[in-house]
Structure 1
Amino acid sequence: MVAIPQQQIIEQLAAGDAGHTAQKGIALEEVVNHTLGLFSGITLIHRNAVDVAGSCEIDLILSNNQHPDGLPFLPFYLVIECKNWQAPVDTATVRAFTSKLRLMRMKFGLLVAASGITGDAADRTNSHAHIRDEFNRDELILLVVTRAELERLTSTEEFGALLKLKLGQFLLNMAHF
């Protein structure tokens, strides 16, 4: 277990809030990269990666060596999109991210959305409906972490538990019993 510098995260995000839109996004990307980088076996591969055609940009791509003290339940590549918006992320933006994941042949993505996503998780509306459709069509798993959740974390153990809980809830919510 590694301590997460909670106060530093809050201050870094607040500093981003005081800047222009790009600074808000950069602040969230830095927090996510640094926080996940505290886990054993997690390494940054690319930041703001752009494809050869210049048409697709991904905020963070991390490698996950699936170290027992890290995130062994997640895949080797962690593709992450960060949206430090005051409003929930809309379906079009979630669709754009899942499209990027499909183009990369990825089955897992992490969306860090400061204010969550549109719709109701229980009713599977709006962005939640799109995420369900992606899972049903291509078995693509998209987990969503909010800024409030990030700001509450005090250790990698807590963050790992949060991701495990979110993955379990995702699979349970997508199941057709």
Structure 2
Amino acid sequence: MTMIKKITSLVLLLTFFCTGTALASGQDSVTTDDLKVISKKEIPSNVTPVSFKSDEEAVAYLNQVFNNINVQTNFDILTRATNGNTTVATTKVSTGTISLKLRYTTSGNGNTGTITSLDPYTTFTGFTLGFGWTENSIGATITSSRKDVYVYTDGTIDYYLLIDGLLKLYSRPISMSGTVSVIR
């Protein structure tokens, strides 16, 4: 058994034990029509496609993965430092995690004063074999109370597949948002 097949088997096994809620209501199941043929140069350098014997095998795997996406949004997070970095929301995809984070500073000590800077960003960590994350938009807005920050992102999770010698891509949109209490 090759290393790729062993890793694929491990990912499949771990995926079957993952539970969670669907990302968005009304999201259709993956079909073979959703798989787009791509060239080798379209695959990011940090992504290794996962090999399947057939489109049907790949679709069954993708449906298992995407039907078990776990979205966790941490609303009204209280930050703990004047210069901080906090996780606002996370989305678990198979054995990887996309995190929406916020770096911030305030003008006073102990989270007092005014918000002086905001820097939202995302990370994609974990065992991400075959997956790629593309952040399409991200932002942070100070709410009308001038104490809280609304943070949001939209992006695309891509899954790169090698099916019977052909490179294919499946993509699905991901959205995350949340509110962080910065000033007390």
Check whether TM > 0.5.
Answer: no
Q: Which has the higher strand share?
A: 2
Q: Under a length normalisation based on structure 2, what TM-score does the superposition of the two structures give?
A: 0.23
Q: Which has the larger radius of gyration?
A: 2
Q: Which has the higher helix share?
A: 1
